[in-house]
Amino acid sequence: MTPLNRSTFRPWIAVLGLLLFAGRATEAQDQAPAANNPALAEPITKGLHVFTCGHSFHVWVPGIVADLCRLAEIPDHVQLGVSSIGGSRVIQHWDITPDKNKAKEALQTGKVDVLTLSPIFLPDPGIENFTKLALEHNPNIRIIVQPIWLRWDIYEPTTKRPEKVDHNAITGEELRKRHAEHFQKMDEHIRELNQQFGRTVLYIAPAPQALIAVREKIIAGQAPGLKTQEDLFTDALGHGKPPLMALVAYCDFAVIYRRSPVGLPVPAILKQAKLGDQEAALNRLLQELAWEAVLQHPLSGLRR
């Protein structure tokens, strides 16, 4: 056998070193907000001024978050406005004519503390455009991006829409597999934009991850009041019923106010589900799964 010498290993050692450095750099960037400013990870107790741009998987979040602020006794929360366009990409909200563009108008006042956006798939230059405008008028603003959960349970850029959708037939493992590329691309885009702007200004509210966790609980028979995955949806597309809407709002609330929703009373939206004596138990489960998803996501701005 030919003896191996040090020169044989040097190229591979260099490559391994670069890979380890890249991984640590990404981790450091994700953790930068808490490391550079510990206050960022502290719960926010005073009401914020929020503006929302979104589609039918997001535009109802502001009303529920306002209710959660009331239940959490957070004073002076203000929803400054909502730009609502069905099935929209963020760029569509950006492209609204100046005389009707309430989002740009609000951002230009410098009074928006948090802007929430809900892209569908990338590319979507609207995220960058809004972030740039927001920072010009308020350098301390935070942009919270709520990625969409897969409509029809498929990744549309690569998968043909099925003739029939059976939400009950899919497993948690398969859902994670189908969402993987979507999650990866969104995370990469948010990291790139934060690097471009030289600071962490964009964060992710991981609603799709929390939804997958709830669906797994339903499959396991561990979601009080929910018998099938279909109990979360109004249609094949994936529009949410009250339990799903409450879950998503808990994710957004947690990222906006940097605080756990666990222990809050049942919000008005979940009462609409008429779950009877299962209501409190399901509410607690939704809170815990939303909070766990937020803590696990490296771009939520929160750590354990």
Q: Which residues pair with 78 in a beta bridge?
A: 49
Sequence-distant (6+) residues with CB within 8 A of 206 are 147, 251, 293, 294, 296, 297, 300
- Residue 246 token pair: 């409450």
Please report, in angstroms and rounded to a whole number, the separation of the first and last CA atoms in the chain: 51
Condensed to tens digits (0 to 9), the pLDDT of residues 110-144 reads: 999 999 999 999 999 999 999 999 999 999 999 99
How much is the pLDDT for 153?
A: 98
Model confidence at 55, in pLDDT bands (50, 70, 90)?
A: very high
Preceding peptide of 123 cis, ω within 30°: yes
pLDDT reading at 18 higher than 80 = no
| pLDDT exceeds 60 at position 103 | yes
**Cα(119)–Cα(55) distance, integer angstroms:** 8
**DSSP strands (E only) in 56-201:** 78-84, 114-117, 142-145
- The mean predicted confidence, pLDDT, of the chain is 90
Q: What is the pLDDT of residue 38?
A: 46
Q: What is the pLDDT of residue 40?
A: 53
Give the distance, in angstroms, between the CA of residue 122 and the centroid of all CA atoms in the same chain.
Answer: 15
> Between 245 and 39, whose confidence is greater?
245
> Cα separation of 101 and 123, whole Å?
22
Separation CA 49–CA 66 (nearest Å): 11
Closest C-alpha among 255, 241, 210, 292 to residue 50:
255
CA distance to 35, 41, 185, 189, 289, per residue, from 302 (Å): 11, 6, 21, 19, 15
Looking at residue 125, what is its pLDDT? Answer: 98
